[in-house]
Structure 1
Amino acid sequence: MLARALILIEGHARGNGPRYVEAARRLGLYPVTLSNDPTKYRYLEAERSEVIRVDTNNIDALISKCNAVRVAHGIAGITGFSGDDESVYATVGKLCGYFDLPGPNPTSVLACYDKSVQRRLLEQAGVPVPAFRVANNPEEIEQLVAELGLPVVLKPAIGIGSIGVRLCRTMEEVANHKTDLLDGNREALSLPKVLVEEFAQGPYYCVNLMGHEIVGVAAAEFSPPPHFVYRDTTVPAALTDYGGKHITEVSRSCLRALDLGWGPTNIELRWTDRGPVVIEVNPRLAGAPDPQLIQLAFGVDLIAEHVKLIIGDKWDLRRTHLHTAASRNLVPNDDGILEWISGVNEAAALPGVAEVQMYVTPNTPIVRKGDFRDLMGRVVVSSPDRAQTETILQCATDLIGWSIKPMPVVSE
């Protein structure tokens, strides 16, 4: 008898994509990926996973391809994710509704997709968020900055991976970033709407939920401002009982405000002078490495448990152990041409190192953009002791080196 299909809409080359394929197979399912451009996901070829090319922005085309899969295999469930477009998960919800399968509420997902709508719903429900304004044209931005006062964070109302997100401490920086955001030739903005928000200052936390249950809270740190590029992530975060309880209450209030609670949710917040302030709610599983860190720290495979939910099985979020897991993103300090990378194998061989992954190879042009696309690689470690985990992570990253030479000068 043929295994039923788990349909994956799009994928994620650096993140959770390969883990969904692996989890599907472990659960006796047949993974099938539907994508605009499958060549973006090299793991699909390596895993010999079936791929169907289709316009994933066309719901009718997707329904047609899903029907073909249903005839050939039967459909156990549908999910999806993308490093390029958060709206994929709303499409997943629509497909699940059409085929009468468990899935997210597309209306709730779309409300989160537009950060200005999400913010208003949270604020109306009394959830603590940074003070913010929404600019619909270039002229409004500086006026709204004057209302809020410096420093401010400017960001696209719709976007992912910190693309176009910038801390501005002066009006000159506001003017420069405004030009970048509203330039039609830039990738930072898909709609001419910009969030102007108070810079909420304090430790950064990422809350991972399944349903209404908090599975784990990660502490995160960024590379130096003005950008917001994740550098270090640690699970579990070192929280007091009071802090953990307060974050739990605020996180669940986000679910109520946004009509979420089916499946995974990832909530990002800062602990400020007034307590936890919600920066963003993502109605999906957190991107890598959070699910991997949760599994290393607690023994809970969020991806496998999510797949069980998708196909109508019972999940199990019970912890089997308590370790500390941490990751560090490898971020370049210069632009240029990557000459060489060293120490990767030596770092991977250290006890306690779970993974060393490089995304780039020698002779690759390095052009920093101030977002997730800057990442050159990642190191993931774990141990039963927090201090030991920190030591392993530092030792491993100290072993990895690279050289970036200046870009060649093109003479006119």
Structure 2
Amino acid sequence: MTRILALGSRSRLLRKAHALGLELVHVQKPSLADPAAARYCSEVLLFDFQDLALATDLVTALHRHRPFDRIVSQAEIGQIPAAHLTDVLGLPGNGLSVVETLHDKWRLRQLLNARGIGPVAAEVVTAPEPVLAFLERHGDAVIKPLTGSGSLGVRMVADAAGALAAWAWAQESGLDRLLVEERLRGPEFSVESFSSEGRHEIVAITGKHTGGGVVELGHVVPAPLGEEQARSITALTEAALDAAGLTVGPAHTEVILTEQGPRIVEAHARRGGDSIPELVELVYGVDLESLAYAVATGPIPSTQASPPAGAAAIRFLVAEPGEVVEISGVEAAERIPGVVRVRLDVAVGDLVHELAWSDDRCGEVLVTAPDAAAAVALAAAVADTVVIRTRPVTSPTRRTLRAILNAADEILDPLARLRRPTPPAPPAPPADEVV
């Protein structure tokens, strides 16, 4: 039986792996433990797998006792640990150099620019003054941490006030470097792909709705694109994944279609979040989450997209910051034809935070329809049916980066702890000193 080490997986993902006949050893952080995981696993271990030194010692010992065939993580926080352990144990899969290239936005941008793959002006800054100089040369910019997902810490900047505010946020968050890039203008998409033996197959292109901000408010599969636009986005994505060295597994590549052509925003060696895999499966019948585990059992049959069976869209629920005092319209929304799911992530009495990253959204609606335009319209109408009423509060509604990461029990760069020099041992006491 193929033996898999799964890092940071949710129970519903473990259920998919179990259905494939895999033996699962699951590692999860204690704060994120789910008792249901034990139903699908031969072992469940609770420790901080982002502590790479600890993870290396424990997983190496487990592997020595009963070897693993592959290490898999479908969680953003598990990407670096899984790649690191893959290298340490000499297992097949994407190694650390590949995953780190995709995880580190500056490293990926440098690679793409050096190869001439959709060049984008960018630099790393350590003070607000270089941001102002960048604005003078390139106009409006986007400032972001070098790592992270879910639009965490991403800001659009057009003037000195914005640059100073972004830098103040960085200092408050304990960051000493930020990535500044020229602002790309145009419709946004993501490419959902699966790679096997270095061959990339595009499963779907997803259309995105941000409402003019940085946080994604909706997705639709398939994206409303012409054939030539789809070909250009596909070619750019394949070139980027080739450059990064990705050889196996799912990838989620975000793209903006500018007047100069498509440009990469970022890419990840995992499936997309925000229920995008569910949209893909509804439309194309391809389960990217199961495939991420199935690759451990041998070559994967072609995942090349077949003609879409209609369209599927998701729209996220948002509300004014403050305390939730009333929620209405949920049952009415659920009765609308075409609705697959209405999910609320807040309840009366909860605090709605200012919309700064994906986890500040209040829920979602997922629908199907005959085509993309109809799906987008239906999702928007269903979302409007759900009303979340709040009242203002005196406490701050915008969370700090530290508060967000603490709530998620996450660190942005687990490699930093691994690479940190070990402090020297204190000198031994004199032989006659009592300790």
1:222 CA drift (Å): 0.5
- The 2-side partners of 1:132 and 1:68 are apart by 43
TM-score, structure 1 as length reference:
0.86
What amino acid does structure 2 have at the position aligned with 1:164? G
- Matching residue of 1:79: 72
- Matching residue of 2:218: 232
Deviations, residues 336-355 of structure 1 (Å, cap 9, x unaligned): 11123223233234332222
Cα distance change on mapping 1:344 and 1:52 into 2, 3 Å: farther
Cα distance change on mapping 1:68 and 1:338 into 2, 3 Å: farther
- Matching residue of 1:14: none
Cα distance change on mapping 1:63 and 1:132 into 2, 3 Å: closer
1:71 CA drift (Å): 8.4
Root-mean-square deviation (CA, aligned residues, Å) is: 2.6
**SS class of match (1:382):** strand
The answer (yes or no) to whether the contact 1:208–1:264 under 8 Å persists in 2 is yes
- Matching residue of 1:206: 190
Residue from 110, 125, 129 that aligns with 1:135: 125
- The 2-side partners of 1:342 and 1:74 are apart by 53
- The 1-side partners of 2:252 and 2:394 are apart by 42
- Matching residue of 2:144: 155
Cα distance change on mapping 1:102 and 1:169 into 2, 3 Å: same
The answer (yes or no) to whether the contact 1:206–1:267 under 8 Å persists in 2 is yes
What amino acid does structure 1 have at the position aligned with 2:189? Y
Residue from 32, 35, 48 that aligns with 1:40: 32
**1:114-129 to 2 correspondences below 5 Å:** 114-129=104-119
**SS class of match (1:214):** strand
- Matching residue of 2:384: 398
The answer (yes or no) to whether the contact 1:8–1:79 under 8 Å persists in 2 is yes
Q: Which structure is larger by alpha-carbon Rg, 1 or 2? A: 2
Please tell me whether residue 61 in structure 1 is matched to residue 59 in structure 2. no
- Matching residue of 1:9: 7
**1:270-349 to 2 correspondences below 5 Å:** 270-312=256-298, 314-317=300-303, 319=305, 322-332=309-319, 334-349=320-335
- Matching residue of 1:383: 369
Please tell me whether residue 52 in structure 1 is matched to residue 45 in structure 2. yes
The answer (yes or no) to whether the contact 1:305–1:315 under 8 Å persists in 2 is no
What amino acid does structure 2 have at the position aligned with 1:257? A
- The 2-side partners of 1:348 and 1:32 are apart by 37
The answer to which of 382-391 and 320-329 deviates more is 382-391
Cα distance change on mapping 1:319 and 1:144 into 2, 3 Å: closer
- The 2-side partners of 1:399 and 1:238 are apart by 25
**SS class of match (2:217):** strand
**SS class of match (1:206):** strand
Deviations, residues 210-266 of structure 1 (Å, cap 9, x unaligned): 1111110001010343xx110110111111111111111111110122112321111
**SS class of match (1:22):** helix
Cα distance change on mapping 1:409 and 1:199 into 2, 3 Å: closer
What amino acid does structure 1 have at the position aligned with 2:202? I
What amino acid does structure 1 have at the position aligned with 2:32? K
- Matching residue of 2:16: 23
- Matching residue of 2:204: 216
Please tell me whether residue 241 in structure 1 is matched to residue 227 in structure 2. yes
TM-score, structure 2 as length reference:
0.81
Consecutive unaligned residues in structure 1, runs of 5 or more: 12-16
- The 2-side partners of 1:396 and 1:111 are apart by 39
- The 2-side partners of 1:385 and 1:223 are apart by 21
1:104 CA drift (Å): 1.2
The answer to which of 236-245 and 363-372 deviates more is 363-372
**SS class of match (2:367):** strand
- The 1-side partners of 2:364 and 2:24 are apart by 26
The answer (yes or no) to whether the contact 1:305–1:316 under 8 Å persists in 2 is no
What amino acid does structure 2 have at the position aligned with 1:323? G
What amino acid does structure 1 have at the position aligned with 2:167? K
The aligned length equals 388
1:300 CA drift (Å): 0.6
Runs of 4+ that moved beyond 6 A: 71-74
The answer to which of 109-118 and 91-100 deviates more is 91-100
